[in-house]
Amino acid sequence: MDANSLSESEKTPLVILPGLLCDGRMFGGQLSAFPASMTVNGFYGGADSIEAMADYALARMPGRCALLGHSMGARVALEVCRKAPERVTRLALADTGIHPVRPGEKEKRYALRDLGRREGFGALVDAWLPPMIGPSRRGDLGFYASLRAMCMGSGQLVFEAQIEALLHRPEVGAVLAALECPVSLMVGDSDAWSPVDQHREIAEALGGAPLTIVADAGHMAPAERPDAFNAALRGWLALQPALTIQHKA
């Protein structure tokens, strides 16, 4: 596509922050659709805290950009907004949560960690990945193989660092209350890990942020349904500052 034919929203520098076990391969559909987009390496240099992941991202981002965080990457994006709000022109949070660690979460994450230690990282990935994919794509062997290869590229040590980061994630209420840029939410309608109702609660906490529910998609919505996900991104990139959400006191 010729650069002169792009809309202003498509020219906006867009930085994507991947989630647990994900890297740029997760966002091929977005990288090809938005020429000004880039991903930060989703392994975050092996960082074991959300704060360190945000520092890693800030060191690699343009001076100002639109910021999309997926899953764990959304929590990193919020930390970026805490540390350097002036660098984020707009924020999108996809397939994620804002809640603190819940009862049983530590045990579930450590059970996966221990499976990998005991039976190998491939066993961990094959236990973790299928529920992250919506039913309509779960039986697509080629699609699964591509996501599995991506996850396998991270390795046990990165997984362990990332779950420690998630289990010690910072509180985000103050960050949400301070946001002044246009914010949008996206979620797959079959996301079993970060369900739709959870995103409705986030939208409510933000005072009415736009929420797009991507049909026939699970937690990996950007890869499962890239066209629908990209349409939501275009709408978010086109939001004018005057439409910034009003936060509750």
User: Domain coordinates of the chain in residue numbers?
Assistant: 3-102+163-243
pLDDT in tens, 208-225: 999 999 999 999 999 999
Pairing of strands 14-17, 37-39: parallel
Measured distance CA(166)–CA(175) in Å, rounded: 17
The answer to whether 234 and 33 are in contact (CB under 8 A) is no
**CATH classification (class only), 3-102+163-243:** alpha beta
Residue % of the chain over a pLDDT of 70: 92
**Given a cut of 90, is residue 144 above it in pLDDT?**
yes
Q: Is 232 exposed, middle or buried (0-12, 13-18, 19+ CB in 10 A)?
A: buried
Measured distance CA(93)–CA(98) in Å, rounded: 10
State the pLDDT at residue 247.
42
Kind plus residue range of the DSSP H or E element containing 199: helix 196-205
Measured distance CA(125)–CA(92) in Å, rounded: 27
The encoded tokens of residue 11 equal 């020219």
Kind plus residue range of the DSSP H or E element containing 177: helix 173-178
Q: Model pTM greater than 0.75? A: yes
Q: How confident is the model at residue 178 (pLDDT cuts 50, 70, 90)?
A: very high
